[in-house]
Amino acid sequence: MSVEGIDVAEFSGNIDWEKVKSQGIYFAFARVNDGIAHPDKLFTNYWPAIKKAGIIRGAYFFFRPTKDINQQVRFFAQGLEIEPGDLPPVIDIEPASSWDELNLTQRLDHVAESLNAVETATGYKPIIYTAPNFWQEKLGNTKRFADYDLWIAHFDTDTPTIPGGWELHTFHQYRENQTGFPGISGDVDRNRFNGALDRLQALSVPAVPLLEGRIGPKVKKLQQALKKVAQDSSHPEFDPGSPDGIFGQGTKKAVIAYQQANSLTANGIVAPEDKLAIA
């Protein structure tokens, strides 16, 4: 059985996700942002709707190699609530004129920095999306990242070219900008998962602890819970400051204070099952 999926962005327009699912679509990736200047206008509509329709969902951002990497990742993660059963996050690494402003060493180092930043922010090792010609020409066909799952863009073929030392691909984008797909008013890209449905389900993520460096809605909920406990008790040291969704030093200090006051292991790490994390 072919495990079919799609990827969408604002150019896809209005989507009837139930109708999409009825066409045999099992997974969908949605774009969160393009660099630091462009949030996808429809992501906040797509993200909950994909899950509600029973489609396995994932999120990606278009990487701009000369823009501030931490800002791009913060932009990506701050509004993205990855939940158990979702797919790992994706970095879209593909042609852009700004790659020519960097030498090969800088390009590879910027890719490595972005991958590490996404894993720190989300707790999940990201998937790399790229195309074979781009990887060979702009990234020197490097094997440096071959331990990451690969989503390869190679159109109009069932046997994509696999660059960079990867032995196999995880996802294959085999068609771009298809129009007229049932339930989708705009364009959509078509994809296949390289395996059976149970293997796709096994690729989905578990819950992860909250700790320094994490970014996202779960962190913001934790900060709000700490602030409420601080307000309801005689422990102002529990207050992490403004709830911004970024687990920094202030949040870590507040978590440790809470843990010490409640005779817990004072390590600044909040387990997924902790009442603060699920408040």
Distance (Å, whole) CA 82 – CA 89 = 8
At 275 the pLDDT is: 81
pLDDT per position as a tens digit, 53-69: 999 999 999 999 999 99
- Active-site annotation holder among 10, 16, 81, 94: 94
- pLDDT at residue 82 tops 80: yes
pLDDT per position as a tens digit, 244-276: 999 999 999 999 999 999 999 999 999 998 887
- Active-site annotation holder among 7, 34, 40, 239: 7
**pLDDT band for position 148 (cuts 50, 70, 90):** very high
Tokens of 68: 């501030």
- Active-site annotation holder among 86, 92, 239, 274: 92
At 234 the pLDDT is: 86
pLDDT per position as a tens digit, 161-188: 999 999 999 999 999 999 999 999 999 9
Average pLDDT of the residues in 192-198:
97
| Residue 158 annotated in active site | no
| Residue 7 annotated in active site | yes
Question: 85's torsion region: left (phi>0), alpha (psi -120 to 50) or beta?
Answer: left
| Residue 237 annotated in active site | no
At 115 the pLDDT is: 98
- pLDDT at residue 1 tops 90: no
At 278 the pLDDT is: 63
Higher local confidence (pLDDT), 48 or 278 = 48
pLDDT per position as a tens digit, 23-43: 999 999 999 999 998 999 999
At 279 the pLDDT is: 60
Distance (Å, whole) CA 223 – CA 135 = 40
At 20 the pLDDT is: 98
Domains of the chain: 3-203 (3.20.20.80), 209-279 (1.10.101.10)
pLDDT per position as a tens digit, 211-251: 999 999 999 999 999 999 999 988 999 999 999 999 999 99
pLDDT per position as a tens digit, 85-131: 999 999 999 998 999 999 999 999 999 999 999 999 999 999 999 99
